[in-house]
């Protein structure tokens, strides 16, 4: 290092240390406020009549009841609950329903699709590992779904379900033959 570089290096170190010392001492020194001398009032002689009046006033002040507000929830809704309720309950299995109407559409998997001259057939597997062949118009699922269309690579199922408002809407579910195409 050249002498100038050495000087600059040590000079910058000195400035840095000086700055650091100032920062550390600043909170201890700080700004001191001048304390204003407090003038204490001189006590006057108290007369007995005034003492009785003061006692009466303090007793009356104690008798004043503070008004307290209480919330009456009777007949009102909880303000912290959401106005929109979405029921996540699953529909129950219907008595006398076929096995393919006893499972949700999401639980059913599509294994194969075949066709003859007139129509397509789909082979599905239920969660209990039983296989069934379905065609267009077959009732399917817990929500009363119906197979609307079968093509060479997918099955379209339409269910009518209640939305969050309670209105009945059509819900289309597509079962694809090859899941990796999704």
Q: Is 176 part of a structural domain of the chain?
A: yes
Which domain, by its residues, includes 164? 99-181
Q: Is 169 part of a structural domain of the chain?
A: yes
Q: Of 170 and 26, which is predicted with more confidence?
A: 170
**Range from 43-57, 103-117, 167-181 carrying the lowest mean pLDDT:** 43-57
Please give the pLDDT value at position 135.
93
Give mean pLDDT, residues 89-110.
77
Confidence of residue 21 (pLDDT cuts 50, 70, 90): confident
**pLDDT digits over 117-164, tens only?**
889 999 999 999 999 999 999 999 888 899 999 998 999 999 988 887
Q: Is 10 part of a structural domain of the chain?
A: no
pLDDT over 60 (residue 30): no
Q: Is 160 part of a structural domain of the chain?
A: yes
Q: How far is CA 116 from CA 17, 119, 135, 136, 148, in A?
A: 91, 6, 12, 13, 18
**pLDDT digits over 42-85, tens only?**
666 655 555 556 666 666 666 655 677 787 888 888 888 887 76
Question: What are the backbone dihedrals phi and psi of residue 180, each rounded to the nearest 5 degrees, phi first?
Answer: -70, -10
Q: Of 95 and 157, which is predicted with more confidence?
A: 157
Task: Give the count of domains, the chain.
Answer: 1
Q: Of 22 and 7, which is predicted with more confidence?
A: 22
pLDDT over 80 (residue 25): no
Q: Is 134 part of a structural domain of the chain?
A: yes
Q: Is 111 part of a structural domain of the chain?
A: yes
Q: Is 123 part of a structural domain of the chain?
A: yes
Domain holding 105: CATH number?
A: 2.30.30.830
Q: Is 36 part of a structural domain of the chain?
A: no
Q: What is the 3-state secondary structure (H, E, C) of the chain?
A: CCHHHHHHHHHHHHHHHHHHHHHHHHHHHCCCCCCCCCCCCCCCCCCHHHHHHHHHHHHHHHHCCCCCCCCCCCCCCCCCCCCCCCCCCCCCCCCCCCHHHCCCHHHCEEEEEEECCCCEEEEEECCCCCEEEECCCCEECCCCEEEEEECCCEEEEEEEEECCCCCEEEEEEEEECCHHHC
């Amino acid at each position: 290092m050249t002498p100038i570089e050495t000087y600059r290096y040590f000079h910058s170190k000195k400035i840095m240390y000086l700055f650091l010392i100032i920062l550390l001492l600043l909170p201890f020194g700080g700004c001191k406020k001048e304390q204003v001398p407090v003038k204490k009032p001189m006590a006057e002689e108290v007369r007995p009549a005034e003492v009785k009046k003061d006692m009466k006033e303090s007793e009356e002040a104690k008798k004043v009841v503070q008004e307290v507000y209480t919330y009456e929830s009777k007949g009102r809704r909880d303000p912290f609950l959401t106005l929109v309720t979405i029921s996540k309950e699953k529909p129950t299995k219907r008595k006398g329903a076929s096995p393919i109407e006893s499972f949700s559409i999401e639980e059913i998997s599509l294994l194969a699709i075949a066709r003859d001259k007139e129509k397509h057939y789909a082979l599905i597997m239920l969660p209990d590992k039983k296989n069934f062949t379905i065609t267009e118009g077959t009732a399917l699922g817990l929500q009363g779904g119906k197979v609307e269309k079968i093509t060479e690579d997918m099955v379209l199922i339409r269910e009518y379900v209640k939305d969050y408002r309670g209105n009945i809407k059509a819900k289309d579910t597509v079962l694809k033959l090859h899941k990796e195409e999704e």
